[in-house]
């Protein structure tokens, strides 16, 4: 009897604290909920991020440290955050509240290596991407409903066609979802899943049409053609690639002639620039040009290490004294990621920023598959959109980058590891 009890104990299920598989799955669910919440809420994203980190604690392994140190895609974001943390100590005369606020904008980058290592082990990165696209699809349907019937004004944005958050955030979401869905459609076609590919193609069309007719940002209008060229280059070649480019040009001409909204968005940029040059008017385009001009001046005053974390707003306040028009504008975000970094942490910070983009791009470039495409599109979108904004530091856009690069990066590394494991026995067999 005693022996039987001992045998049962030996074969009993492990303690809940040692059940790594259960904790890993729970953490995956927390990330999916975070991804679903991202288009709608900031507070829910923060809550699910904390829950996710707590659920990860029982899954930690010693080899995670070795994997972290061996991958620049993991440790470069941490090094970037370390520079921002150090910058709080040379931000002279800046209130600590401002320093910590700016540091918090960088802190989300610390989730990238954790996401990469986590999804390399769990293999459930697709859950996250599907959850995000599905959530954005609901936002898109609400946006179309508001466009068709303005009486159906929903959400808190107060902007036509934008149910939640703001125009720029929604346009960034829809752009990445559109090209992510196109990549997924190509993946489905390669596996003869024609109905799935059709549904994904319709979904992508809905996102793009919304950008053309309902709501877009000029940042998105820059990113869409760039991502389209990348999509064609990755999935097509020869005559088919040429035919798609021609078709896209024709579609663009049709969109221009049928969408007065699209024309007004593009033409207003020129009008705003002319007003800024003529009278120093505080237009959207004029503000950006003025912010960039001043930021370059601030950078030249401290080119190596910058003025410190959280110093941007104070610099603009000092420079606005006695000024009028757009020159009197005060802002903590110069609407350019490189300048935002360079003002606070100088050339060293700007170099680290570009190194991070490059090492993340290298995870995906030259590889095949859905996750390689999504990661490549996310990095490219963030880079080009950051020419007109500080999207790494903005909440929604920054978390889009963190989620996409982290989940897709982990899955790409997992696929590479599994391919190496399959290849290894074949090599040994050949040697034998």
- What is the spatial distance between Cα 373 and Cα 95, in angstroms, rounded to a whole number? 42
pLDDT at 3: 47
Which own/partner pairs from 256-260 qualify as long-range (CB within 8 Å, at least 24 positions apart)? Answer: 259/212, 259/213
Q: What is the pLDDT of residues 136-148, one digit of tens each?
A: 999 999 999 988 8
Contact 74, 117 (CB under 8 A): yes
Tell me, what's the pLDDT at 282?
A: 66
Q: Is the pLDDT of residue 432 over 50?
A: no
- Mean pLDDT confidence for 111-133: 94
C-alpha distances out from residue 254 to 162, 247, 248, 257, 279, Å: 24, 11, 10, 5, 35
Q: What is the per-residue pLDDT for 69?
A: 87
Give the pLDDT mean for 216-245: 92
Q: Measure the CA–CA gap between 144 and 138, rounded to whole angstroms.
A: 10
- Mean pLDDT, all residues of the chain: 89
Q: What does the radius of gyration of the chain's CA atoms come to, in whole angstroms? A: 24
Instruction: Return the pLDDT at 154.
Output: 67
**What is the pTM assigned to this prediction?**
0.90
Q: Given its phi and psi angles, is residue 93 left (phi above 0), alpha (psi -120 to 50 degrees) or beta?
A: left
Which residues contact residue 170 at a Cβ distance below 8 angstroms, ignoring those fewer than 6 apart?
39, 139, 143, 162, 164, 215
Angle at 159 between CA 157 and CA 164, to 5 degrees: 35
Q: How far apart are CA 79 and CA 326, in angstroms?
A: 36
Q: Which two tokens mark 256?
A: 């221009």
Residue pLDDT, tens place only, 87-112: 999 998 899 999 999 999 999 999 99
Contact 160, 147 (CB under 8 A): yes
336 contacts 291 by C-beta, under 8 angstroms: yes
Cβ atoms of 347 and 304 closer than 8 Å: yes
**pLDDT > 70: what percent of the chain?**
91
Give pLDDT, residue 417. 80
Burial of 189 (0-12, 13-18, 19+ CB in 10 A): middle
Measured CA to CA, the distance from residue 221 to residue 324 in angstroms comes to: 31
Give, as one character, the DSSP assignment of residue 86: H
Q: What is the DSSP string of 154-167?
A: -SSS-BTTB-SS-H
Whole-number pLDDT of residue 285? 74
**Do residues 223 and 231 touch, judged by C-beta distance below 8 A?**
no
Average pLDDT over residues 414-427: 66
3-class secondary structure, 324: coil
| Sequence-separated (6 or more) residues with CB below 8 Å from residue 43 | none
- Distance in angstroms (rounded) separating the CA atoms of residues 422 and 424: 6
SS3 93: coil
Pick the range with the lowest mean pLDDT from 14-18, 167-171, 272-276, 392-396.
14-18
CB of 212 closer than 8 Å to CB of 142: no
Closest to 346 measured CA to CA, from 388, 300, 315, 391: 300
Q: Using 50, 70 and 90 to split pLDDT, how confident is the model at 5? A: very low
Q: What average pLDDT does this structure show over 22-34?
A: 94
pLDDT for res 10? 46
Q: From the centroid of its chain, how far is CA 54? A: 23
Give the model confidence (pLDDT) of 353-369 as tens digits.
999 999 999 999 988 89
Burial category of 212 from C-beta neighbours within 10 Å (exposed 0-12, middle 13-18, buried 19 and up):
buried
Q: How far apart are CA 363 and CA 354, in angstroms?
A: 15
Residue 309 near residue 91 (C-beta atoms within 8 A): yes
Q: For 35-58, how does the pLDDT look when each residue is reduced to its tens digit (9 = 90+)?
A: 999 999 999 999 999 999 999 988
- Which pLDDT score, from 0 to 100, does residue 4 have? 52
Least confidently predicted of 89-93, 175-179, 219-223, 278-282: 278-282
State the maximum Cα–Cα separation within the chain, in Å, rounded to a whole number. Answer: 96
Domain assignments of the chain as residue spans, ordered by start: 131-258
Q: How many alpha carbons fall within 13 Å on the CB side of residue 367?
A: 24
- For residue 78, the 8-state DSSP code is H
């Amino acid at each position: 009897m005693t022996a039987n009890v001992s045998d049962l104990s030996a074969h009993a299920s492990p303690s809940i604290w040692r059940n790594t598989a259960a904790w890993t799955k729970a953490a995956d669910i927390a990330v999916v909920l975070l991804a679903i919440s991202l288009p709608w809420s900031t507070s829910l994203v923060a809550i699910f991020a904390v829950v996710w980190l707590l659920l990860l604690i029982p899954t930690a392994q010693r080899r995670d440290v070795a994997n972290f140190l061996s991958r620049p895609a993991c440790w470069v974001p941490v090094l970037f955050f370390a520079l921002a943390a150090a910058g709080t100590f040379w931000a002279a005369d800046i209130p600590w509240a401002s320093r910590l606020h700016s540091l918090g904008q960088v802190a989300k980058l610390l989730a990238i290596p954790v996401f990469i290592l986590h999804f390399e082990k769990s293999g459930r990165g697709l859950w996250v991407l599907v959850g995000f696209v599905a959530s954005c699809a609901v936002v898109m349907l609400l946006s179309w409903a508001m466009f068709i019937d303005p009486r159906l004004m929903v959400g808190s944005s107060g902007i036509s066609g934008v149910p939640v958050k703001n125009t720029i955030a929604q346009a960034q979401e829809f752009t990445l979802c559109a090209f992510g869905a196109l990549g997924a459609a190509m993946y489905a076609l390669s596996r003869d899943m024609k109905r799935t590919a059709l549904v994904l193609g319709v979904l992508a069309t809905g996102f793009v049409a919304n950008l053309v007719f309902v709501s877009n940002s000029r940042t998105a209008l820059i990113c869409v053609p760039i991502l389209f060229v990348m999509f064609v280059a990755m999935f097509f070649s020869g005559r088919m690639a040429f035919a798609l480019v021609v078709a896209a040009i024709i579609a663009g001409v049709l969109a221009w002639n049928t969408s007065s909204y699209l024309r007004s968005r593009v033409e207003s940029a020129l009008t705003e620039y002319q007003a800024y040059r003529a009278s120093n008017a505080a237009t959207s385009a004029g503000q950006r040009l003025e912010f960039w001009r001043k930021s370059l001046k601030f950078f030249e005053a401290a080119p190596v290490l910058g003025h410190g974390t959280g110093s941007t707003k104070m610099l603009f306040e000092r420079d606005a004294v006695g000024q009028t028009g757009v020159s009197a504008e005060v802002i903590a975000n110069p609407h350019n990621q490189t300048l935002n970094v360079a003002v606070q942490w100088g050339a060293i910070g700007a170099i680290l920023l570009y190194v991070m983009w490059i090492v993340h791009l290298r995870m995906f470039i030259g590889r095949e598959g859905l996750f390689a495409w999504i990661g490549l599109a996310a990095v490219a979108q963030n880079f080009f959109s950051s020419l007109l904004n500080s999207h790494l530091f903005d909440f929604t856009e920054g978390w889009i980058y963190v989620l996409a690069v982290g989940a897709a990066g982990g899955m790409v590394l997992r696929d590479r590891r599994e391919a190496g494991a399959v290849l290894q026995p074949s090599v040994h067999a050949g040697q034998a």
